[in-house]
Chains A and B, each alone.
Chain A
């Protein structure tokens, strides 16, 4: 008889760029100056798009909207590592990912204005529809990854969800299956500390979310989610491993939801304003801007110019969105099945009968 340690595990955390904009040269990812500037530009675009969306919602020009304020690095950094052939399975608070992949801005506004046609993914991108239901898309991402593996496609799938999503049964099932079948999927947790009004401490007793990977026999890592370089590096490694047959990975991006859960929420009712202030100092854009300025890649003039350019771009996107004619009721039938079922045909006829009332 004996009792002995049969296995022990460690959890790593990756930080490359600190709050002052200093970097660890040894850990620096292989990125050109253009890439570094591009990362910052994408984060700024995300932030300004986000701010505009909040204004539009308050003006009655957009539906309920979930702000990504504070999570720009976690989203832009991870998406920057994706290739067009990879598949994206988003939750719903991934604006920065969409922006980075080059999704048309007008269509993002269109979707948040309640028009599902905004989710019609452009040909060159591989993006599944936004998934509002928490965590239900995790098994889908695993399934798509398994399919890619059977077909021998050298791609990976990237699945985004929040800290709240890790408490779902789908998370367990998805990660377990991905581990067993070595599916080429990268699970990217946007740990923004709050699942609506449930804090991270009330979400799980586990010290990190990254360590959940251990139970499924897959690599897991925590990264400073407000450090765009660390997020990029960790995601890039995980994606390369997946594409080359190395199986799935879990990445916990530790970040913070600076805004309310959505425009229909008031976070001041349940969270300490001091906590928000603490995270303010860790702003992902601020540190990247400092870093670029130190390298001579950025200055105030460029900042101002870019802000103006982005504003003009957003103006055009909003104008395009607002000029789009609304969907017609009958479109529901056109987009559900390739061919309508008898029941749907009856329903379409009923709709037409009702419409006849309009014409008297």
Chain B
């Protein structure tokens, strides 16, 4: 039995396509396929594309599931090629999903990548030769990257390239040199590609700015009492493993205010020329992750307690950090909150999370002199910034909504009065 395993790598299907979403598999594990037989359907930024396989053989693994977004260069599936006895080779269970690996491994020993990379004809002097007669894979790196490596004293041959075809990138060199790969401090003068998540954020924000008539209104509210309540309950909940922050309170206040101002919990159906008022309250919560902004959605906030929300937020934050949020968890918000106070900001002009109608931003709470019943006292003040789509509602209504959120936060007991 002599079998080699061919790894089918997702190619760049367009010009500059960086990833594709798997829409359907047309083949199954264990199935015998012909060269050029259609294996799957994927969707890129540009098109829905049918992808055929480059080799004949038997499908051994399908490495991704429908709905997965797969970066260009990942292994899509593996095919057993060459001389094999189909029946004698134990096939993985149907639907088996294995973690992607980059190099080709044979069942017996290591095999050459693919016939296409076969030995060149005639003498080739430039192919770097390392120990003995074994030919090394040529180093792939742009001159700029090579120059950078030289300047930083990084030996390229010690690196494993993360780029297409194992190409060594600037990031690889910088990482090896001990520099922060994505921090901006050491990167001045460097061009960073607007790719992946960063690009989708960019496109989404731009769409919101293009398609809405956005206005921001701002207010300040005294949250001293809420602060005290949170401080009081915090330790008790910490004992139960729940980290209580103010965000769940912000969500409850927003949910109750939205119930009174349904136009802010809506979406515009541009095709029908209608405003769709939404019955459910699903709040998007902007989360800062290592790779950029993500907005997971907390569903049915109206059916969840402050503690429920605190637990759910904790989970979402962990998932955002590990990039394990599912598509469903990132879709379907009816309104969005953004809490940038932790970074030291006060007021902002948040961008609407289209197709939402509005977004509410919470700034940093600070102690300020405040007038209460004719006396100047020190209170904890929360800055609020509401960006709304002026097409859907006017400033008066938006401001009344904002004031209402402020009232709930100023006097949390009101939530008790309002809740059903």
Contacts and interface: CB of A to CB of B under 8 A. Distances in A.
Interface of A: 52, 55-61, 64, 260, 263-266, 268, 322-323, 325-326, 328, 330, 350-351, 354-355, 357-360
A357 B15 contact: no
Given A264-B46, A322-B116, A354-B143, 7 more contacts: A60-B12, A265-B14, A266-B46, A322-B118, A325-B120, A326-B120, A357-B150
A55 B52 contact: yes
Interface string B1-41: 00000001111111101000000000000000000100000
A260 to B, nearest CB: 8
Nearest to A51: B36
B269 interface: no
Interface of B: 8-15, 17, 36, 46-54, 115-116, 118, 120-122, 124, 126, 128, 138-139, 143, 146-147, 149-150, 155-157
Contact of B54 (A60, A266, A358): A60
Contacts of A260: 47
25 contacts: A52-B36, A55-B36, A58-B49, A58-B51, A59-B11, A59-B54, A60-B9, A60-B10, A60-B54, A263-B13, A263-B14, A264-B14, A265-B47, A266-B47, A323-B115, A323-B116, A323-B121, A325-B121, A354-B143, A357-B146, A357-B149, A357-B156, A358-B138, A358-B139, A360-B155
B157 to A, nearest CB: 6
B154 to A, nearest CB: 10
Contacts of B116: 61, 322-323
B209 to A, nearest CB: 23
B124 A325 contact: yes
A331 B52 CA distance: 33
Given A55-B36, A266-B46, A359 B118 contact: no
Determine which residue in A60, A330, A354 has the highest number of CB atoms from chain B within 10 A of its CB, and name it.
A60
Q: Which 5 A-B residue pairings sit nearest by Cβ, starting from the closest?
A: A60-B11, A325-B120, A266-B47, A59-B54, A264-B14
Contacts of B52: 55, 58-59
A58 B11 contact: yes
Contacts, number: 78
A297 to B, nearest CB: 30
A358 B156 contact: yes
A326 B117 CA distance: 9
Contacts of A61: 11, 54, 116
Nearest to A58: B51
Contacts of A359: 128
Contact of B126 (A52, A355, A360): A355
Nearest to A269: B47
A260 B46 CA distance: 12
A360 B153 CA distance: 12
A354 B49 contact: no
Contacts of B17: 264
A268 B43 CA distance: 14
A328 B120 CA distance: 11
A354 B146 contact: yes
Contacts of B128: 358-359
A268 B46 CA distance: 11
A360 B157 contact: yes
Determine which residue in A58, A61, A64, A326 has the highest number of CB atoms from chain B within 10 A of its CB, and name it.
A58
Nearest to B16: A264
Determine which residue in A260, A326, A357 has the highest number of CB atoms from chain B within 10 A of its CB, and name it.
A357
A322 B115 contact: yes
Contacts of B118: 322-323
A16 to B, nearest CB: 36
Contacts of B48: 266
A359 to B, nearest CB: 6
A326 B143 CA distance: 18
Contacts of A266: 46-48
B405 to A, nearest CB: 41
Contacts of B51: 58-59
A221 to B, nearest CB: 36
Contacts of B8: 59
A328 B115 contact: no
B240 to A, nearest CB: 52
B122 to A, nearest CB: 8
Contacts of B47: 260, 265-266, 268
B50 A58 contact: yes
A334 to B, nearest CB: 13
B183 to A, nearest CB: 26
Contacts of A64: 14-15
Determine which residue in A56, A326, A358 has the highest number of CB atoms from chain B within 10 A of its CB, and name it.
A358
